[in-house]
Every structure is written in C-alpha cells, then in structure tokens.
Chains A and B, each alone.
Chain A
Amino acid sequence: MTITDVVKILDGKLIAGDATSPRVVGAVVANDLMSDVLLSDYDDILLLTSLASDQAIRTAHIVGAMGVVIHNAKPLSETMIKVADDLAIPLVSSPLSKYDACVRLHDAFLAEERA
C-alpha cells in the first residue's frame, strides 16, 4: 500500500510530497498525542491524526513515517504544507472520520493479504 493507494482508499487528496514515492505502509498509527506516536517502534508508519499542525509533520519526520493523513478534512495551514515539503513527508487530507479511515485501511490490508 503506497501513498497513492492511501489517497484512493481514503477518498483523499495529496497536499504535499511525492505521489510516486515507492514506500509502503508498515503500520498505521492513529493518534493525536505526539509523545504517544514517538513511543511507537514501528517502521514506515502512516500517521493518521486530527492534529493539523506543523508538529504532526515534524513528529512524523522524527519516527521516519512514510506519510501523514489528516482526517475530517481539517484545514491545513500553509506552514504545515511547507514543512511537509521541506521534510519530504507526503501529506494527505481525507474527509473521513478517524474511525472510518481506520476501518477502510484495515479492510484494504485484509484484501491485500488475501490477494
């Protein structure tokens, strides 16, 4: 599941970063508390959060995340987009709620496994 797949699955839009990035999702972390995200040990995290701030991107960079999804179509500031570009973190905006986004990603993972 690449970032382009994530965009499709979540009816989202890629706001910053490289659509052709070959990195695939290793784990989905859905969390609004950045220290919690920093605590996780997974590689290639897809960070799903409602925290539409520079800090979500900066945290994603620290844990080497492969992308960030802001759910509920929260408005994204210009600086946040700039930080995402600077740190080369793909940033996706999705209209889904956190719960629905998780369910869709989960189903997509199962389908991937079956295939």
Chain B
Amino acid sequence: MAEYSPVILKGQQTSDDEILAKTPLDEKALGGDSSVIIMELLQRFKVRDVMKRQIICVPRKATLREAQHILKENRISGLPVSENDRLYGIISVNDIINGLDGGWMDEPCEAHMSKNLVVLEAGMPLSFALRYFNNYTYGRFPVLDANRKLVGIISQRDVMRALLYELSVEIRKLERKTRPEAEGGGASETKKNFFRKEWAVVHNDLSRAGHAANSIKSLLRERKIDRSLIRRVAVAAYELEINICIHSHGGVLVLLIDDDAIRITAKDRGPGIADIEWACRDGTSTANDWIRSMGFGAGMGLSNSKRVADTFNIASEVGKYTIVECIFDIPKAAEPPQG
C-alpha cells in the first residue's frame, strides 16, 4: 500500500502542488505518522466523497464547436457526452484538435467522441482512483453508480484537494493538541462563507434549459436562506438561463455566494444585444414562433430579473457577448428586530 504515497507527493507542477508545497507535510507536523494518515484517508474515503457531482456535459447532438467553447470556458480537458444520466462518450481536447484539423467542427459530438471509456464506480475507495490515475494517462474519469448512471466526475485535482483538506484538518487537530493557546483569535477571517458554482448552458437545448436554475434553487434551500430570497434568486437564474439558451450561441450561468450577497451571472458568446434599453423594457422581444410555442418570448425575462434583484447590471457588445449580473443582498441575521 505504501506505493501510493509518492503519487500524492510528486506529480506535475500544478497549482495544487504549490499548495502542497506550502502545507507543512513533514513528519514533524504530522507527529511522524503522515503516511499512516494518508493511507487511512485513502481507504476511508470513497470516490463519491471526492468527485464533482456537478458534471458539465453535452448532449450527443451538440457540435464539436460547442464542446470546444465549453471546454475552454470551464478550463477543462474532457467533457462527458451524456443525456438523462446515461454516459455515451467523452470529448477530449484531442478530439477537438482532430476536428479543427479535419474540418468537422460542426459535426455532432456523438460522431467523434471516444466510446471506449474507463470509468470508476462511486463506491470504490479513493486508493482505487489513485491507481487508475497511475495506470492510465487520462486526467479525469467519469463516475457511475451501481445502476450505471453517470453521477460524477473525478480528476487528480479533486483527489488532491480532498486529501489536502483532510490533512489540514488533521494537522489542526494535532496543533490544537500541542498548542492549546493557539485556539480562538484569527479564526474570523477564515470563517468567511464563500461558494461558487458554474453551469454550461447550451444553445437551443431546451430540454435541459432551466436545469441550472433548478439546481441553484435546491442548493440554496440546503442553506439557511430566507424562502422569498431563494425564490427571487431562482427567478432571475431561470430567466437568464433561458435567455442564454434561446437568444445566444451558448454560455454559462454562475452562482456566487458569500456572507453579504448572492450573485447570479449569465455570460454568453454573443450575438449580443444592440439596444439594451429596448431589450430590458417590459414586453419587448425578438422571439420567434418556435420560442413562443415553448412558453417563452413574452419579453419579460430581463425586466423580471431586474425586478427581483437588488442590483442589476447588464453589458453587451454586438457580435461578442452579453453579460447580465443580478445581486441579491443577504440581510444581516445579527440585526435586532425592529420596534
């Protein structure tokens, strides 16, 4: 089993390695048991504890070009091709390079994805994942559950992050044991609540559109956030997601939460809005009959988003991008009730 510790400690110069270098991982800091702790973590943790559950993926009909944009925007190197939790293949940067070279960027992913997939199972111990990363050259593996459903994706980075986090918890425990006076003081800084998540929104994929907004609502519900605030955030997220889907070439929806505010940002790759003032007016729309038959195109989305948000920003350049930001202030819980 000792063969795995070098995997954690070496590797390429990624930013995770830099963090690693700054983390006091030497024998002294860990009370001389570092490898024991790591081994224990590798067994205790399962792939499902570490994998990313929010999977950025594309449907089979998405073009290689769309996949390329999504890869680029999310700075990832592999993109599962999946519908209704079923995994069909993976599009990698290599497939994109071949597409650019061969001139088939407008063909669907299903025609060019790799179908011979190496996958991990959610219930496997983390030590398995490390062995896979060692044995194959892939940077990430899709994770399936017992019913062969796609439930996550795991990269070396995810494993590193989880191990580093757990190690730092262990270290803090040890520090507390050796230096009890170090407790308290200075903790307030690190308590700052910060959360960010991003969803790719594909042009014209109306069957998935709204999915990000639904996830955002579910995520907010898990936190202690006022119900009416959640509803306002969800309305803006949904309107902006649908706008990206039906009016743009595709883009991303980003959720950012900190102690003071919830922020929804919708960014897309054009075509942009020529007259922003007109577009934001109630009832103005360029929607066609198809869009209207799908329940949209009343021309109310942007004004709805503006209405629910505490701060509303929009910027656009024709032919380039549209970016809309809705900020929702989180009321301070500590404030005494009025009257």
Contacts and interface: CB of A to CB of B under 8 A. Distances in A.
A58 B213 contact: yes
B213 A55 contact: no
Nearest to B241: A58
A58 B238 contact: yes
Contact of B213 (A33, A39, A49, A62): A62
B124 interface: no
Question: Secondary structure at chain A's binding surface: helix, strand, loop or mixed?
Answer: helix
Size range of the interface on A? 20 to 34
A39 B300 contact: yes
B296 A34 contact: yes
A32 to B, nearest CB: 6
Interface stretch (B36-44, B174-182, B227-235): B227-235
A77 to B, nearest CB: 9
A39 B283 CA distance: 13
A61 interface: yes
A60 to B, nearest CB: 10
B15 interface: no
A97 to B, nearest CB: 18
B296 A35 contact: yes
A38 B301 CA distance: 9
A54 B304 contact: no
Nearest to A64: B231
A84 B26 CA distance: 52
27 contacts: A32-B295, A33-B296, A34-B242, A35-B301, A35-B304, A38-B238, A38-B300, A38-B304, A39-B304, A49-B295, A51-B295, A53-B206, A53-B295, A54-B210, A55-B206, A55-B209, A55-B210, A55-B294, A55-B295, A58-B214, A61-B214, A61-B217, A62-B231, A62-B237, A63-B235, A64-B227, A82-B84
Interface of B: 84, 206-207, 209-211, 213-214, 217, 227, 231, 234-235, 237-239, 242, 294-296, 298-301, 304, 307
Q: Which A-B residue pairs are the 8 nearest by beta carbons?
A: A58-B210, A35-B300, A51-B295, A34-B295, A62-B234, A33-B298, A35-B298, A38-B235
Interface of A: 32-36, 38-39, 49, 51, 53-56, 58-59, 61-64, 79, 82, 87
Given A38-B238, A79-B84, 17 more contacts: A32-B295, A33-B296, A34-B242, A35-B304, A39-B300, A39-B304, A49-B295, A55-B294, A55-B295, A58-B209, A58-B211, A59-B238, A62-B217, A62-B234, A62-B238, A63-B235, A79-B207
